Amino acid sequence: MMIRVQNLHKSFGEQHVLKGLSMEIREKSITCIMGGSGSGKSVFMKCLIGLLKPDKGEIYIDGESIMGKTQRQLQGVRKKIGMLFQDAALFDDMTVMENVSFPMLEHTQTPEDEIQDRVITKLKEVGLENIEHKLPSELSGGMRKRVGLARALMLDPKIVFFDEPTTGLDPIMTNQIGDLILQTHQRYDVTFVIINHDVNLSYKVAEEIVMFHQGIVADQATPQALVHSSHPFIQKFFNAHVDMEQYR
Partner 1 sequence: MIAQKPFALFQKTGNYVMRIFPSFFSIIGEIGQFIVFLYKTIRLINPKTLRYGLVIKHIKLMGVDSLFIIALTSVFTGMVMGLQMGRAFKLFQAESLTGAVAAISISKELAPVFASLMFTARVGSSMAAQLGTMRVTQQIDAMKAMAVNPMHYLILPRFLATIFVLPLLTAMFDYVSMFGAYVVGVELLNIDKAAFVQRTIDFMEVSYIVEGLFKAAFFGFLISSISCFKGFHTQGGAEGVGRVTTQAVVISSVCVLVSDYFLTALFF
- Footprint of partner 1 (CB under 8 A): 46, 49-53, 70-71, 74-76, 78-79, 81, 83, 85-87, 89-93, 102-103, 106-107, 151
Closest CB 213 distance from partner 1, rounded Å: 25
CB 86 within 8 A of CB 164: yes
Closest CB 239 distance from partner 1, rounded Å: 32
Nearer to partner 1, 75 or 222 (CB): 75
Q: Of all helices (H) and strands (E), which one includes residue 177?
A: helix 171-188
Closest CB 90 distance from partner 1, rounded Å: 8
Q: Angle formed by the axes of helices 141-153 and 171-188, to 10°?
A: 10
Nearer to partner 1, 90 or 234 (CB): 90
Q: Which residues pair with 191 in a beta bridge?
A: 159
Closest CB 85 distance from partner 1, rounded Å: 5
Nearer to partner 1, 42 or 220 (CB): 42
Residues 6+ apart with CB under 8 A from 30: 181, 182, 185, 192, 194, 205, 206, 207, 208
Closest CB 235 distance from partner 1, rounded Å: 33
Q: Which candidate, 110, 104, 192, 189, places its Cα nearest to that of 154?
A: 104
CB 88 within 8 A of CB 56: no
CA 240/CA 164 separation, integer angstroms: 19
Nearer to partner 1, 97 or 211 (CB): 97
Nearer to partner 1, 49 or 135 (CB): 49
